[in-house]
Structure 1
Amino acid sequence: MNTPTFEALDLSPELLKALAKKGYNRPTSIQQQTIPAALEGRDVLGSAPTGTGKTAAFLLPAIQHLLDHPRRKPGSPRILVLTPTRELAMQVAEQAEELAQFTNLKIATITGGVAYQNHGEVFNTNQDLVVATPGRLLQYIKEENFDCRSVEVLIFDEADRMLQMGFGQDAETIAAETRWRKYTWLFSATLEGELLVDFAQRILTNPLEIDAEPSRRERKKIQQWYYHADSLEHKTKLLARIISNFEVERGIVFVRRREAVRELSETLRKRGIRSTYLEGEMAQTQRNQSITRLKEGVVNVLVATDVAARGIDIDDVDFVINFDLPYSADTYLHRIGRTARAGKKGSAISLVEAHDYKLLGKIQRYTEEVLKPRLIDGLEPRTKAPKDGEIVSVTKKEKARIKKKKEDKKEAAKKKVKVRHKDTKNIGKRRKPTTEQKSES
């Protein structure tokens, strides 16, 4: 089956021109499924790993909605995007600016870490689309500086992380304040977890569920392999040699522990590799500096933990290196999704010690792909991989089991009758149009 083009998704010439300028030729899986449903006026509950075009999946129909229904006079924002972090808010706004560059639409951000008076333009001038973090936005709503009545589409990006960070109550209050909205679109890394399911049931109305795992074709653009390491010292030598041998131009190195981030970055610098780091405790200006240095090519490598790097969108990352394997196979997919973005190719390399082989086996079974080992001349390991069968190829039997499990899950989702809370709760629900209320009575 041929992948449809963006033209086939009924997008306006202004958007198609912006997509062409960005080099986006064909929509990704999440975009193919989300855009038509969103333009039809459905609420959407979408799941997609990072790097699969999720941001454009909700920005394109949002901007198209504004173009299809132009406002008659200037006013308050009509599209509101909520993100858990200020970095993500800035990145979403930046992408919105790029996609809307051939329109007259106004885009703004409201985040913490910015002086109050700097948000004056959002309150005093015409705005069409605002990207905000929940805490700061709620402060302005309470002070009656932000008018929620004009919001037509409310979008939650990385809702799972928003809830994990304790923004659930703020998000629900904002949903209640924007109850006049027409549509709600919620995106999350996963659609599992009682917290997320409960939250989605309260704020969405009969949503279309979209679970867009990257297709095998999309994943094949990422070349994956691993190196067996004897020890931490051996692993560090392998990392430095990999960066040099492959002439890494823009790479992200993932570690598990926050304490190791600065130390590893410093070690690489001593070996002549231009490196910086990202950790959760850094001041906002320092975080921005580190990301900018990698984007602009001042450094070639960014060392980070999953928590620090979550939501950071950097184009043209050619290598993702797992200095430490993640405990979750899902996290592995998120990590490697930071390379090979927008149809480009990339590489994902893992450094594996003896105690990591159980994790490697889990990752292989989850992704249904076999990662092959490689050697580096002069740095061959002295130890061997464990022979306890923990690392195995994905057998046909295992593949069939995984496939059946996915099919059963889809079938169950179709049959499942959702028990909604709207009869007992009305937190953040949209008001029904007056005509609809009359017809019911």
Structure 2
Amino acid sequence: MSEPTSGGSLADRVSKPNTMNAQAESFQPKSGTSWADEVSSPATEEPPSASNLTATPAEDASAPVAQVDGATEPFGGSQLQEPEYDVNVKLADMQADPNNPLFSATSFEQLGLEDNILKGVMSMNFRKPSKVQEKTLPLLLMNPPQNLIGQSQSGTGKTAAFVLNILHRIDLSTEQLQKTPQALVLAPSRELARQIVGVVKVMGSFVPGLVVEAAVPQDAAARNRKIEASVVVGTPGTVMDMVRRRSMDIKGLKILVLDEADNMLDQQGLGDQCVRVKGMLPKNIQIVLFSATFPDNVVKYANNFAPNANQMTLQHQDLTVEGIKQIYLDCDSDQAKYDILVRLYGLLTIGSSIIFVKTRETALAIEQRMTAEGHKVVSLTGGYEGSQRDVIIDSFRMGHAKVLITTNVLARGIDVQSVSMVVNYDVPDKFVGGGKFVADPQTYLHRIGRTGRFGRVGVAVTFISNQGDWLKLMEIQKYFNTQMTKVATDDWDELEEQVTKIIKSSRAGSNMKDGANMGMQM
């Protein structure tokens, strides 16, 4: 299903790549006027000036070894960020005993995990449960199994929590059981599904007989294959198709996990598919929903999907990502947005960067135009074949491609350690009917969460080119009770200096942390 299109796609306006100066040196946006100047801001305080964009100090080399979550090391993944807030747990069973020694676990050994699982935990630099894991793992692992709805920031250990529960519950005592699906994880994109497969394989690397497979769209030759794995990670449509064709046996399934569950349940197509898949599964299956965001309108669907679930939630004001410097640039027009993007190219390639756009057409048009002007960029959207998407995302993970242009297909869950900047070329919004689009705070949060991963710092830049864009961005700012810095596009030296400081600080902190980790592992 293609991303929604709106009038005036860049593809409609750009036909000849050579109409732009390759370096865009002559571009100077009109100063003195701003969309922010024309309408009073909903925020109660003036945004800080660009001079307040100071870099975060690098972490002390003596810091304890961090946990790893999201993508694993071979996939270029990042490390865990411990939040300062307390997680809130709502128990479905009012008789649950908070004095039970497993009510909150301060060590993995307390959880009764097998030695082979603990070895995998330790191999991933997990030394003790994160705050999220302290609360969720005892609830996930208790018997009889109970459903769980879990919400927490990116990089706080959600993936590891549901993977540990899976490894703990599956039975691999016979060869037949090793080939029988017992746990199913659904993710909204093939890229996230492949990433989760990597986490399961690494965390379960010491578990004898563990077989993990991805159920994502395949070419015609592989489409009729039979799934023979104890853990299956896939996208809802492909899983539903495989179950219908009886190429995946579901009778032995014990656990169903929805990662990025709010997105899965909120989108009409994905939500319908998830409900249908669930309807095909055994009735006594344990259902686990995890996401960084659960907007109010989705909570009801989540409760229906995972009835009588224990819940771990956060206030949305606590969800903004610490360490990400959020700035926005006023642009006079869509053409000005492109010109400024070209000028940003040098900053985009200090580390790696992701540029988020609204439509596939815009992604393709920008890629073609920047490539024609000598800039090395790649794009990834739902319009590409699966094998092409795998090659592109793997190339980006390994650093062969530094700048990735994409739609919301990569807004969620993807963990690439080197990403130091995210650009919202188009302000994230969602269609609400009647030809109206409104601000989409959840997508904004997930997008910018691709940088500043797990304790590092990063930069999120949002372009606005009209009053509607500015109003949506101010609504997002108000929703998260945060401050975004307006940076004048005619003060390019100041912008470049501050952004460079932030990115270099991030890389220095990363190197010091990784060095400390290596020293403590030796």
Structure 2 length-normalised TM: 0.62
For residues 48-69 of structure 1, the C-alpha deviation after alignment (integer angstroms, 9 at most, x for no partner) is 4655543223112222333xx6
Q: Secondary structure at the match of 2:193?
A: helix
Which has the higher mean CA deviation after the structures are superposed, 204-213 or 191-200? 191-200
Equivalence for 2:181: 77
The answer to whether the 8 A contact 2:354-2:405 is kept is yes
Q: Distance in 2 between matches of 1:89 and 1:23?
A: 22
Q: Distance in 1 between matches of 2:252 and 2:450?
A: 35
**Paired letter, 2:160:** A
Q: 1:60 to 1:197 in 2, by over 3 A?
A: same
Q: Distance in 1 between matches of 2:319 and 2:153?
A: 15
Structure 1 stretches lacking a partner, 5+ long: 382-441
Equivalence for 1:334: 446
Equivalence for 2:393: 291
Equivalence for 2:238: 136
Q: Secondary structure at the match of 1:359?
A: helix
Identify the match of residue 344 of structure 1 among 456, 461, 465: 456
Equivalence for 1:249: 351
Equivalence for 2:473: 360
The answer to whether the 8 A contact 1:273-1:300 is kept is no
Fraction of identical pairs, as percent: 29
Q: Distance in 1 between matches of 2:345 and 2:127?
A: 31
For residues 294-324 of structure 1, the C-alpha deviation after alignment (integer angstroms, 9 at most, x for no partner) is 1121221111122464554434321111222
The answer to whether the 8 A contact 2:214-2:234 is kept is yes
The answer to whether the 8 A contact 2:185-2:256 is kept is yes
Equivalence for 1:432: none
For residues 335-377 of structure 1, the C-alpha deviation after alignment (integer angstroms, 9 at most, x for no partner) is 1111122333322122333523322322221222212233567
Equivalence for 1:60: 164
**Paired letter, 1:364:** Q
**Structure number with higher helix proportion:** 1
Note the C-alpha offset of 1:289: 2.6
Note the C-alpha offset of 1:73: 5.6
Measured on the aligned residues, the alpha-carbon RMSD in Å equals 3.5
Structure 1 length-normalised TM: 0.72
Q: 1:225 to 1:14 in 2, by over 3 A?
A: farther
Q: Secondary structure at the match of 1:150?
A: coil
Q: Distance in 2 between matches of 1:149 and 1:51?
A: 33
Residues 198-277 of structure 1: pairs in structure 2 closer than 5 A: 198=301, 200-201=303-304, 203-212=305-314, 219-245=321-347, 247-277=349-379
Equivalence for 1:372: 485
Structure 2 stretches lacking a partner, 5+ long: 1-83, 87-104, 429-438, 495-522
Note the C-alpha offset of 1:223: 2.3
**Paired letter, 1:325:** V
Q: 1:32 to 1:267 in 2, by over 3 A?
A: farther
Which structure's relative contact order is higher, taking Cα pairs within 8 Å and 6+ residues apart? 2
- 1:184 pairs with 2:287: yes
Q: Secondary structure at the match of 1:293?
A: helix
Identify the match of residue 174 of structure 1 among 277, 280, 283: 277
For residues 397-424 of structure 1, the C-alpha deviation after alignment (integer angstroms, 9 at most, x for no partner) is xxxxxxxxxxxxxxxxxxxxxxxxxxxx
Equivalence for 2:423: 321
Note the C-alpha offset of 1:72: 5.3
- 1:107 pairs with 2:212: yes
Residue correspondences, number = 375
Q: Distance in 2 between matches of 1:354 and 1:210?
A: 39
Identify the match of residue 122 of structure 1 among 221, 224, 227: 227
